[in-house]
Amino acid sequence: MKRTEGRLNRRSFLTLCSQAGVGSALLPGVLLTLSAQAQEKSPDEPAPITSEMIDQAAALAGVHLTAAQRQMMLDGLESQRESYDAIRKLKMPNSVAPAFVFDPLPAGAVVETGIEQPKWSRVEASAAPSDLNDLAFATVGELAALVKARRVTATQLTQMYLERLKKYDSKLHFVITLTEERALAQARAADAEIAAGLYRGPLHGIPWGAKDLLAVKGYPTTWGAGGFQRQQLDEDATVVERLDAAGAILVAKLTLGALAMGDHWFGGQTRNPWNPEQGSSGSSAGPASAVAAGCVGFAIGSETLGSISSPSTRCGDTGLRPTFGFVPRTGAMALSWTMDKLGPICRSVEDCAMAMQAIFGPDGKDLSTRNAAFNWNVDYDWKKLRIGYFQSEFEPIAAFHPRAAQGNETAEQKKARELRNSMFAAGHARRVYDQQYDQAALSALRRMGATLIPVQLPKLPYGAMAPLLTAEAAAAFDDLTMSGRDSLLTEQGPQDWPNDFRVSRFYPAVEYIQANRARTLAIQEWARLFEQVDIIVTPTNGEQLVATNLTGHPALIVPNGLRGADAPKPPRVDDGNDDNIGGPGTPVSLTLLASHYQDAKLLAFGRAYQDATGFHKLHPKLD
């Protein structure tokens, strides 16, 4: 697994996935490519597969075949290639899922299904401020109290947030489409209902933003990608329907990196409100940036491998990546059917609970969604929970040792080595500086009365399982690769989707299944871990991010303070490779983990930590 001096790097990790696909290439897949190259000489007919092609493909796959074995394979491989063409002619849209469903639960797991009435914090409605912008950074609970008491109308809130979206988009680039007409109509309807005594709950009249991979009828759903700017899907995503039913008001479709990678979309790069010289990370770039900038009450993002975690860290938000299968993904762009998850990005933990309360549960369409209960109780006694922490992740970081010259070094090699040493030394200094916040978190937890139990992250080759993601993504966007329309995507480097999709065509079907079997082992190991503890505290980066996205466990990312004026300076260029590039005055985060479908208990503990620290109340100064 590729690391940056001991820390996992999300973009480099995806690059590693691609490399893993090449390293164990599928024999028929390689043959298809070799045959296609030969076909260029005669484009009207497929070039026949030859024994020489099999020999080349076998060498790439690391498989030894005798001449007799290669000859015996010819008819079967020709027949297999014909099956590819028949499937491709179906022209399946992104919304068609495979005929299998990933289940993250280990054997014998019991899931609570009895749903109880949620119990929220009591918030007294204050007087409405003379300038509604003073409410921009209020929590959903605080806004809800004002709306319910009719101190502020939903229309006033909607207009305020729409104005802020328009004002700060030129600086932060987080809006793809404003849904102004829809929002104002919803706001007027909410005001009429509340005036008539029909109050739907804490989201009623609260403006929110959707990551633009969620379908909204009558508006473009662009997936952040060149070539899809005018795409309209004639449906509302299930989470959009459910938030409509809760009375929430959709004010904008927010940015995501093209096809859910990074923070670069067809309109530019979404920016971090704490430091607009940096990107907001991705792929839930717009939701995280807009929440942090006080431009929506809350947002819905998605995560496949860090897409809620990373921008929540950069932007200082509270993000919940729910258990896989808790929230239906119907109407959301598919990237990886066995890893995609939808979840809220908010200003506080209880805001996440309010959003989660509205969107969880089966919809009869997404077959991965399980009938499990989400029971929020603000009075839940978190001290009953056993709190663990990954001890090794909090240990002092080893000293950085620069790479020494090797042999007769040329001037060019020396320059490259010194540049590498300089970059890695700077990254090491930032990690050493940031570790004080991790240590402070443990101290704060002990002051809260938590008895911290040291545990160890199960040791398995999580990186070797990661090509599952890119293989599924390549299938989800197969037509882009085969038609050549992948050239329309914004990013075209070796670490970006077009290249990843092409590389993933060589990933073996056999190895895909083997990686899923290894994933079963991971699920079993993590189940044993959560027999020891209920909650695990961990730094946000590192191997746990990959592991828990593969195993489907929930994660809560909470703000953990701001870097001081003495923080190492960030790199001059934000290449998207490191979510903790730092810099004075920028946020740091902490991640809390729980067992499958224990999301409410996870949030209860996270709320206690926020009450004790208050970091979620900090917000950037935009003007």
Mean pLDDT of 543-566: 98
Q: Where are the domains of the chain?
A: 3-91+463-515, 132-383+599-613
Report CA-CA distances (Å) from 330 to 136, 189, 255, 501.
31, 26, 19, 23
For residue 80, what pLDDT band results from cuts at 50, 70 and 90?
confident
Where is pLDDT greater, at 575 or 304? 304
Percent of the chain whose pLDDT exceeds 70? 93
Predicted confidence (pLDDT) at residue 373 exceeds the cutoff of 60: yes
Predicted confidence (pLDDT) at residue 528 exceeds the cutoff of 50: yes
Question: For residues 602 and 594, what is the distance between their CA atoms, to the nearest angstrom?
Answer: 6
Provide the mean pLDDT of the chain.
92
Q: What pLDDT is stored for residue 3 in this prediction?
A: 32
Reduce the secondary structure of 65-119 to three states and give it as a string: CCHHHHHHHHHHHHHHHHHHHHHHCCCCCCCCCCCCCCCCCCCCCCCCCCCCCCE
Mean pLDDT of 557-566: 98
Predicted confidence (pLDDT) at residue 31 exceeds the cutoff of 70: no
Using CB atoms within 10 Å of the CB of residue 162, give its burial: 0 to 12 exposed, 13 to 18 middle, 19+ buried.
Answer: buried
For residue 86, what pLDDT band results from cuts at 50, 70 and 90?
confident
Where is pLDDT greater, at 532 or 17? 532
Q: What pLDDT is stored for residue 87 in this prediction?
A: 87
Mean pLDDT of 507-519: 92
Q: What pLDDT is stored for residue 44 in this prediction?
A: 57
Per-residue pLDDT of 40-56, as tens digits, reads: 555 556 789 899 988 88
Beta strands in 551-594 (DSSP E): 555-562, 587-594
Where is pLDDT greater, at 557 or 580? 557
Taking CA 509 as the corner, what is the angle to CA 508 and CA 515, rounded to the nearest 5 degrees? 85
Q: What pLDDT is stored for residue 2 in this prediction?
A: 33
Tokens of 514: 């083997």
Tokens of 434: 């940031």
Per-residue pLDDT of 388-422, as tens digits, reads: 999 999 999 999 999 998 888 899 999 999 999 99
Q: How many Cα atoms sit within 13 Å of 417 on the Cβ side? A: 13
Q: What pLDDT is stored for residue 38 in this prediction?
A: 53
> What phi-psi label fits residue 224: left (phi over 0), alpha (psi between -120 and 50 degrees) or beta?
left
Tokens of 601: 């208990």
Say which range, 209-223, 289-303, 401-415, has the weakest mean pLDDT.
401-415
For helices 349-359 and 140-148, give the axis angle rounded to 10 degrees.
70
Q: What is the DSSP string of 241-291?
A: HHHHHTT-EEEEEE--STTSSSSEETTEE-EETTEEEEE--SSSHHHHHHH
Contact 386, 532 (CB under 8 A): yes
Q: What pLDDT is stored for residue 543 in this prediction?
A: 94
Q: What pLDDT is stored for residue 1 in this prediction?
A: 32
Q: What pLDDT is stored for residue 359 in this prediction?
A: 99
Predicted confidence (pLDDT) at residue 202 exceeds the cutoff of 60: yes
Predicted confidence (pLDDT) at residue 16 exceeds the cutoff of 60: no
Per-residue pLDDT of 438-479, as tens digits, reads: 999 999 999 999 999 999 999 999 999 999 999 999 999 999
Say which range, 15-24, 268-277, 442-451, 508-517, has the weakest mean pLDDT.
15-24
Mean pLDDT of 211-222: 98
Percent of the chain whose pLDDT exceeds 90? 80
Mean pLDDT of 471-499: 92
Give this prediction's pTM: 0.92
Residue 177 dihedral angles phi and psi, to the nearest 5°:
-140, 125
CATH superfamily of 132-383+599-613: Amidase signature (AS) domain (3.90.1300.10)
Report CA-CA distances (Å) from 471 to 144, 226, 307, 505, 515.
43, 21, 18, 7, 11
Mean pLDDT of 12-40: 49
